[in-house]
A = this chain, B = another copy of it.
């Protein structure tokens, strides 16, 4: 049997896993520093929790889990009927499947808040670092299993929450060493204002879905998409005229207010102006074409893109926004929230390409203890126990071997120090220590060894 893993998924070896851990830990530190606390939710959610929250396309990308022991089901005929429905294109099939893998961390969080709000301090600030799954077509930077690092606050609708998230962006990217990025910000009410302006309030979702594709299909593509979705040429021209507004953030906000005057635009511009004032040193760009595909957003929306000339990746590494009523679906209305999600896997790809991982994060300060004969391995085992009790990272080469072989092992693992024990060392109660970096070798007593290693 040929070993393989599902397409779109990945293994991470020791070096990759340690680099990933570095990203998780760095983000976690920043979240904690801002007073956020961790929660965890299960990988599986009830299908009814997830279905319908991510648009039609999102529904199709859910990984559904087959109900167990179907073959033993007493309702075999009903299961079969459900199956027929599914084969006919209907995706909701409770007898066949009633659970799915989570698609993001926001909907599970809203579900968590709805279930636990009586025991939570409000506003509730949480972070969550867990994998999500999407049955998407795999391609560069797009994986079927990937980690999201989310930070959200629910129970407060002031702009200070958005401003805090911008401050988290600043600190997180600074700590990770990422210099060339832009925080794109827009407001869903501004998009609603545009819909009202072109007399298409009833087609708001169609409008945002089309605009959301601008990055991928360009202006002409969006025009075509809008035609397909039933917009008239005059409406489309008005939309496109918004896209070409340029200038500083303040200038853009001024200009859209001059172009469109309705209460949606007014409310959006007011909040965006406040946010800009609170976030003076942030790399913010107001982008009227930013839409975010997810329907639950209602206020400020965020997306962070990398624009480093040295990096081939130019997509989004984070996104988020305000959702005014996401917990409402789960029976807890009027709890506004806002949050952002860091895409750890894409951040990894960018940092790898830009060589931003500090060398020190790779754990290769382990000491290798080697015995040249059986008795020496036994002596090495006892030495390992003592060193570990002294908090020294070390491992025993678990069988007698020639130094050459053991040096090869140490090299492959990037270890810096090897302790060799042979008959001579045992008889003279000494240890031969080889420094793999400079290649030097010395024979020393146990006291000298312990001094050197704990220095």
Contacts and interface: CB of A to CB of B under 8 A. Distances in A.
A438 interface: no
Interface stretch (A8-16, A235-243, A305-313, A422-430): A8-16
Contacts of A32: 363, 393
Contacts of A64: 65-66, 68
A48 B1 contact: yes
A385 B70 CA distance: 56
Interface string A147-183: 0000001001010110110010001000000000000
B5 A398 contact: no
B72 A89 contact: yes
Contacts of A398: 123, 153, 156, 158, 160-161, 164
Contact of A377 (B60, B69, B160): B160
A73 B91 CA distance: 13
Interface string A322-334: 0000000111100
Interface string A376-392: 01000100110010011
A375 B329 CA distance: 35
B1 A329 contact: yes
Interface residues of A, number: 112
Given A1-B329, A160-B377, A381-B278, A37 B65 contact: no
Given A14-B38, A42-B10, A160-B399, A87 B71 contact: yes
17 contacts: A3-B49, A3-B332, A5-B41, A6-B45, A6-B99, A11-B116, A17-B38, A20-B40, A34-B395, A35-B368, A43-B131, A60-B68, A63-B68, A65-B66, A79-B87, A158-B398, A161-B398
Given A2-B331, A5-B41, A64-B66, 13 more contacts: A5-B46, A6-B45, A33-B392, A35-B366, A35-B368, A42-B145, A65-B65, A66-B97, A71-B89, A72-B89, A121-B412, A160-B398, A167-B388
